[in-house]
Amino acid sequence: MSRPLRIEYENAFYHVMNRGRGRENTFLSDDDFKHFLYCIEQANLRFNIEVHSYCLMTNHYHLLIKTPDANLGRAMKHINGLYTQYFNRTHNTDGALFRGRYKAVLVDADNYLLHVSRYIHRNPIETSTPLVDELIDYKWSSYSAFIKKTATPKWLVRDFIFLLQGKNRKYAAYKQFVEYENNKEISAFYGAKKLFSVLGGDEFIQNIKEYIAKSDNEKSVVVQRRSTDDVIAYLAKYFCIDAHDILTVKKGAKRKTCLVCLP
C-alpha cells in the first residue's frame, strides 16, 4: 500500500511528533536530550527550518516547525537518522529507534499555532503521571525560553508566537496563556483515536485543496475541471476516509475544520 500524501510547501507550519518503537524510551540521560537538541540545530543550519516550540519527553518528542524551503521530509529524516545513530552507538543498541515515520499535523498558523504551542509546552503536566509540578521546572522544552527564564537557543524562533498573542507584556502574557488549560477543541483534536493531519479553518483548507489539485499527482482533478464535491470525493477515496469527515462543521461557529487523517 502506498504511503499517504505528505503536504509540503514553502513557509508551512507543522506540529511534528514521533515516539519510541514499542513505546520504549528514546531519551535515557541528559546527554541524550542535549544531543537531540544538537540534531535540531544541525537541521536548522542544513535545511533552513525554523523551530517555534519544542518539548522532548522520555519516549517521544513534539516539534513546531516552519519550512521556508518546503523540505520537512528531508529535515526530519536528518534529525531522526542522526539521533538514532548517536543513540545506538551510545547505548550499544541497533535497529530503528522510533516506531516509524514521524507524524506531522499541518497547522493553520493564523487560527491555531498559538494553541498548538501551548499544547506542546503543557505536555510534561498533561500526562497521566505529571513529570513536574510546575512547567518552569521541566528543562527539556522551550517553555522556559519563552518566559525568559533560560537562554534561548539560536535556532528557536519566539517572535511569531509572541506576535500572535498581540500582548505588550509578551513573556508574562505567554506564561499566563500556557498555564491556563488547553481549550476544548485542541484537547479533542489531539485526544481523538485517529490523529488527523490538517488543523485549520475553512479558508486555510480551501487553499490546501487548491495546492493539492495543482500538484503533479492531482493533475487529473485540474484538467477535468471537477466540482468541489468531486474534489472532496476524490480526497476521501485517496485518504480512505468518509467524505463527510473531510469537512466537519463546528457548533456555534461558521468556520469549518478539515480533518485529513494521518497514517
- DSSP per-residue string spanning 184-220: HHHHHHHHSSS-BSEE--HHHHHHHHHHHHHSGGGHH
Domain assignment present for residue 200? The answer is no
Q: Are residues 174 and 55 in the same domain?
A: yes
Domain assignment present for residue 2? The answer is no
Separation between Cα atoms, residue 30 and residue 32, nearest integer Å: 5
Q: Are residues 175 and 124 in the same domain?
A: yes
Domain assignment present for residue 111? The answer is yes
Q: Are residues 211 and 186 in the same domain?
A: no
Q: Within a 13 Å sphere around the CA of 75, how many CA atoms are in the beta-carbon half?
A: 26
Q: Are residues 58 and 177 in the same domain?
A: yes
Q: Are residues 170 and 217 in the same domain?
A: no
Q: Are residues 49 and 103 in the same domain?
A: yes
Domain assignment present for residue 64? The answer is yes
Would you give per-residue pLDDT tens digits along the chain (263 residues)? 445 567 899 999 999 999 999 989 999 999 999 999 999 999 999 999 999 999 999 999 999 999 999 999 999 999 999 999 999 999 999 999 999 889 999 999 999 999 999 999 999 999 889 999 999 999 999 999 999 999 999 999 999 999 999 878 899 999 999 999 999 999 999 999 888 889 998 899 888 888 888 756 553 333 334 556 666 666 766 666 776 666 665 554 444 444 444 44
Q: Are residues 158 and 103 in the same domain?
A: yes
Domain assignment present for residue 219? The answer is yes
Report yes or no: 55 and 62 within 8 Å, Cβ to Cβ: yes
Domain assignment present for residue 167? The answer is yes
Q: Is 100 left (phi over 0), alpha (psi -120 to 50) or beta?
A: left
Residue 46 has φ and ψ, to the nearest 5°, of -85, -35
Most distant CA atoms of the chain, gap in Å: 58
Q: Are residues 149 and 243 in the same domain?
A: no
Range of the domain at 114: 12-191
Q: Are residues 38 and 114 in the same domain?
A: yes
Which of 163, 191, 219 is where one domain is finished?
191
Domain assignment present for residue 234? The answer is yes
Q: Are residues 105 and 224 in the same domain?
A: no
Check residue 209 and give its pLDDT.
Answer: 83
Check residue 100 and give its pLDDT.
Answer: 84
Instruction: Please compute Rg for the chain using Cα positions.
Output: 19
Which of 135, 158, 191 is where one domain is finished?
191
Domain count, the chain: 2
Which of 159, 191, 223 is where one domain is finished?
191
- List, edge to edge, every strand of the sheet that includes 60-67: 50-56, 60-67, 12-19, 103-107, 198-199
Domain assignment present for residue 196? The answer is no
Check residue 61 and give its pLDDT.
Answer: 98
Check residue 2 and give its pLDDT.
Answer: 46
Check residue 234 and give its pLDDT.
Answer: 62
Q: Are residues 105 and 66 in the same domain?
A: yes
Q: Are residues 253 and 151 in the same domain?
A: no
